Amino acid sequence: MGKNRLEAFSDGVLAIIITIMVLELKVPHEASLDALKPLLPVFLSYVLSFIYLGIYWNNHHHMFHATRHVTGGILWANLHLLFWLSLFPFTTGWMGENHLAPMPTAVYGFVLLMAAIAYFILQRAIIAQQGPGSLLAAAIGKDWKGKLSPVLYLAAVPLAFVNPWVSDGLFIFVALMWLVPDRRIERVLAKREKE
Amino acid sequence: MGKNRLEAFSDGVLAIIITIMVLELKVPHEASLDALKPLLPVFLSYVLSFIYLGIYWNNHHHMFHATRHVTGGILWANLHLLFWLSLFPFTTGWMGENHLAPMPTAVYGFVLLMAAIAYFILQRAIIAQQGPGSLLAAAIGKDWKGKLSPVLYLAAVPLAFVNPWVSDGLFIFVALMWLVPDRRIERVLAKREKE
Amino acid sequence: MGKNRLEAFSDGVLAIIITIMVLELKVPHEASLDALKPLLPVFLSYVLSFIYLGIYWNNHHHMFHATRHVTGGILWANLHLLFWLSLFPFTTGWMGENHLAPMPTAVYGFVLLMAAIAYFILQRAIIAQQGPGSLLAAAIGKDWKGKLSPVLYLAAVPLAFVNPWVSDGLFIFVALMWLVPDRRIERVLAKREKE
Amino acid sequence: MGKNRLEAFSDGVLAIIITIMVLELKVPHEASLDALKPLLPVFLSYVLSFIYLGIYWNNHHHMFHATRHVTGGILWANLHLLFWLSLFPFTTGWMGENHLAPMPTAVYGFVLLMAAIAYFILQRAIIAQQGPGSLLAAAIGKDWKGKLSPVLYLAAVPLAFVNPWVSDGLFIFVALMWLVPDRRIERVLAKREKE
């Protein structure tokens, strides 16, 4: 079974999620700069989630670049990932509207954690399908970013009740960590093509 | 006429339906865990409908994998299916907001039933176009899942007025039945490719 | 310049328009059948517009099937068509919410008229680009459906103030007229391929 | 790395942005023509933003037509552009609802400016990747439109507080300037193919 429709469907869902988040930025009725002020935390949450979804799209893109065939299991692992990502508009809106209060921040972190776990499961499903000598396994290597991220999200959930800014700092740190483009897969692919 | 645009359009519509359902999860104004409690039935309905739409996307994917050409009749049978699926966000939201009350549960079941019938019509239209020796007909075989599902949905509609939990149980049962990946089409295709 | 991205973008926009219309079907707060009654005209308007958008998608699909190259003019003629189609959710919602009152019905007809004109312009732009011996010109032939439809929409606008049901009848009549699949393009294409 | 998924994802996001803007045209409760009057500025803002997004889609289409390979940097430069474009529904709705008042007009201009800068960065990233003899660099030539537009947006921001109609005039002027189809890239590509 080809991977094209899976990629097209995932691109569609990610494009919609990243775009409907902006609907949480409710148009204010007044025309003054003051009317924008209460929207600032909503806007900042939007920026953070936009970057996270951009990272997921980027990594998804790279992961399926190193994938030839998809099975029923991979289709469902992918839908499972899309499910958690589809909750981003909700958690982003809730965290933004409540000015980064503890509970919404913790729930935001929880959904990030679940998405990271879903991504990990999808990665394992592809590697399992590829068997020994898996291109993807070689490409991700030790995958320390993939392993560190869920640990930091997990830490961010209880820390939100101590101080939500610590959790927000962790979210920003993980995002920056991934923003450094992940050249591992490109590198391994380029190497194999040479051989 | 090629099937690519039909697939692309269907992927687009399904991606949007699966994603705008999440807009029914209205962001609460308070930042406490209590504020999430009334959203629980909405969330559970969302999970159920997400799984159903995932199943439809999966089966649609497999069905058109076994299809080469599309006719005007197939295009309209496909739009007819998309129409009933497009009502999922409405019925999901209504059932969720009313904590799985009888009438919304019955209407939810009715829309599931109509979607199942539309899927069946689409399947017959493709088989009719393929004529004797239809690849799709061979692939789906006796199609007991496809025949049992509408019967269970039909039963769930009146049962919602006896006890909506019985209907919900049936919806969950049918979803689980389909979640077992449908390897029939993959198997028949693989077999034919060998021959 | 290839036509693929134009088709993909149009499919995306049409998929979104056809789907967000359903958001006008606001989830009622009560769980009774009575709560659905005021939604009936909204639902019927939704069905009508869904069919119209299905027809546009179908015809668009056929038209670009008979098109090889696109120019800047064709891109803009296509965007112009998408603009008028993007107003369907608004006019559908307005007509539905006001139980098919005269003014919303007239505006609904006006937007149908503008979309039909935009479709006609797009068709002429493609035929002009193809020059003499245009495949599309041969395929559409006398195009009596394309010529009759705007006349009927134009009649429906003032008739809405006499009796909106007459206009609604015209809208339904035109939709049924197009639902008969348009085999002209398929036929001409099949013929040319034989030659 | 191929450009197909980048194009597909961008098309998806642009299709959604251009379509959800129409949701700011809230369906009025009354059925009279008077009920449409307060929507007029919202409608005009919608038309303007629709044209701008059409221009961006058109230029994006041409730009990637002259691009073979994409890097991680190009992916992020593209997401950066989509981020600013995703704010169009918000600024369009705010400007429209407030009848083109100074502050919303200035913010509308600011987002146009940021999108123009993001487009410029994306263009530079592609040219840098193509190295000397870049096809895109040859195609855009002196790029006076690309250089004049941000200057006019920048002027429109403070001018909104003098008279918002001056800013609106500038926005319309820039849109008209771009509506003249950009044949540079087509011309250079056609020339190279001949050689």
Residue A139 has pLDDT above 90, yes or no: no
Average pLDDT over residues B175-182: 79
Touching subunits of B (3+ CB pairs, under 8 Å) are A, C
pLDDT of residue A182: 56
pLDDT of residue B187: 67
Choose among B144, B116, B132, B126: nearest CA to B62: B126
pLDDT bin (cut points 50, 70, 90) of residue C69 is: confident
Chain segment D87-113, per-residue pLDDT in tens: 999 999 999 999 889 999 999 999 999
Residue B135 has pLDDT above 90, yes or no: no
Residues of D in contact with C98 (CB under 8 A): 30-31
> Which of D19, D65, D186 is opposite residue C86, by nearest beta carbon?
D19
Interface check for A25 against chain B (CB to CB < 8 A): the answer is no
Residue C93 has pLDDT above 90, yes or no: yes
Choose among B141, B81, B77: nearest CA to B113: B81
Residue D43 has pLDDT above 70, yes or no: yes
CA distances from D127 to D48, D59, D74, D122, D189 (A): 30, 15, 10, 9, 15
Residue D158 has pLDDT above 90, yes or no: yes
Q: What is the mean pLDDT of chain C?
A: 89
Chain segment C136-172, per-residue pLDDT in tens: 888 887 888 888 999 999 999 999 999 999 999 999 9
Instruction: Answer whether B181 sits within 8 Å of A72, measured CB to CB.
Output: yes
Nearest chain A alpha carbon to B10? A9
H-only helix segments in D1-101 = 4-20, 40-65, 72-86, 88-97
Instruction: Answer whether C13 sits within 8 Å of D7, measured CB to CB.
Output: no
Q: What is the CA radius of gyration of chain C?
A: 18
Average pLDDT over residues C90-101: 91
The nearest CA of chain B is from the CA of C158 a distance in Å of: 31
Buried b (16+ CB within 10 A) or exposed e, C112-150: bbbbbbbbbbbbebbbebbeeebbbbbbbeeeeebeebb
Instruction: Answer whether D102 sits within 8 Å of A36, measured CB to CB.
Output: no
Average pLDDT over residues D153-174: 95
Q: What is the mean pLDDT of chain B?
A: 89
Q: How far apart are CA D6 and CA C75, in angstroms?
A: 20
Interface check for A27 against chain D (CB to CB < 8 A): the answer is yes
pLDDT of residue D130: 87
Choose among D116, D105, D126: nearest CA to D80: D116
Interface check for A8 against chain D (CB to CB < 8 A): the answer is yes
Helices C144-162 & C164-179, crossing angle to 10 degrees? Answer: 160
Q: Mutate which of A3, A7, A9 to disrupt the B interface (most B C-beta within 10 Å)? A: A9
Instruction: Answer whether D107 sits within 8 Å of A36, measured CB to CB.
Output: yes
Q: How far apart are CA D79 and CA D91, in angstroms?
A: 19
Residue D131 has pLDDT above 60, yes or no: yes
Q: Mutate which of A14, A61, A85, A182 to disrupt the D interface (most D C-beta within 10 Å)? A: A61
The nearest CA of chain B is from the CA of A86 a distance in Å of: 6
Interface check for A13 against chain B (CB to CB < 8 A): the answer is yes
Interface check for C107 against chain D (CB to CB < 8 A): the answer is yes
Q: How far apart are CA A79 and CA B175, in angstroms?
A: 14
Interface check for D24 against chain C (CB to CB < 8 A): the answer is no
Touching subunits of A (3+ CB pairs, under 8 Å) are B, D
Average pLDDT over residues A18-36: 90
The nearest CA of chain B is from the CA of A191 a distance in Å of: 32
Average pLDDT over residues D40-50: 94
Contact between residue D75 and residue D6 where contact means Cβ atoms under 8 Å apart: yes
pLDDT of residue B185: 61
Q: How far apart are CA B9 and CA A34, in angstroms?
A: 43
In this structure, what DSSP letter does residue D27 have?
P
Instruction: Answer whether D15 sits within 8 Å of C12, measured CB to CB.
Output: yes
Instruction: Answer whether C5 sits within 8 Å of D61, measured CB to CB.
Output: yes
Touching subunits of D (3+ CB pairs, under 8 Å) are A, C
> Which of C13, C16, C93 is opposite residue D27, by nearest beta carbon?
C93
Lowest mean pLDDT among A178-182, B116-120, C112-116: A178-182
pLDDT of residue C1: 60
Contact between residue B153 and residue B113 where contact means Cβ atoms under 8 Å apart: yes
Residue A44 has pLDDT above 90, yes or no: yes
Q: How many other CB atoms are there within 10 angstroms of residue B29's CB atom?
A: 9
SS (H, E, C) chain A: CCCHHHHHHHHHHHHHHHHHHHHHCCCCCCCCHHHHHHHHHHHHHHHHHHHHHHHHHHHHHHHHHCCCCCCHHHHHHHHHHHHHHHCHHHHHHHHHHCCCCHHHHHHHHHHHHHHHHHHHHHHHHHHHHHCCCCHHHHHHCCCHHHHHHHHHHHHHHHHHHHCHHHHHHHHHHHHHHHHCCCHHHHHHHHHHHHC
Q: What is the mean pLDDT of chain A?
A: 89
Average pLDDT over residues D137-165: 91
Residues of A in contact with B11 (CB under 8 A): 5, 8-9, 12
pLDDT of residue C194: 64
pLDDT of residue C189: 63
> Which of A15, A31, A32 is opposite residue D16, by nearest beta carbon?
A15
Residue C186 has pLDDT above 70, yes or no: no
Q: What is the CA radius of gyration of chain B?
A: 18
pLDDT of residue B16: 93
Residue C116 has pLDDT above 70, yes or no: yes
Chain segment A74-111, per-residue pLDDT in tens: 999 999 999 999 999 999 999 999 988 999 999 999 99
What sign for the dihedral angle of Cα D9, D15, D21, D23?
negative
Long-range contacts of A98-103 (CB under 8 A, 24+ apart): A98/B30, A98/B31, A99/A41, A100/A41, A100/A45, A100/A164, A100/A165, A100/A168, A101/A164, A101/B31, A102/A160, A102/A161, A102/A164, A102/B31, A103/A160, A103/B31, A103/B32, A103/B33
Residue A132 has pLDDT above 60, yes or no: yes
Instruction: Answer whether A18 sits within 8 Å of D17, measured CB to CB.
Output: no
Interface A–B counts its CB contacts (< 8 A) at 78
Instruction: Answer whether B18 sits within 8 Å of A82, measured CB to CB.
Output: yes
pLDDT bin (cut points 50, 70, 90) of residue D182 is: low
pLDDT bin (cut points 50, 70, 90) of residue B193 is: low
pLDDT of residue A143: 83
Lowest mean pLDDT among B28-37, B71-80, B157-166, C177-186: C177-186
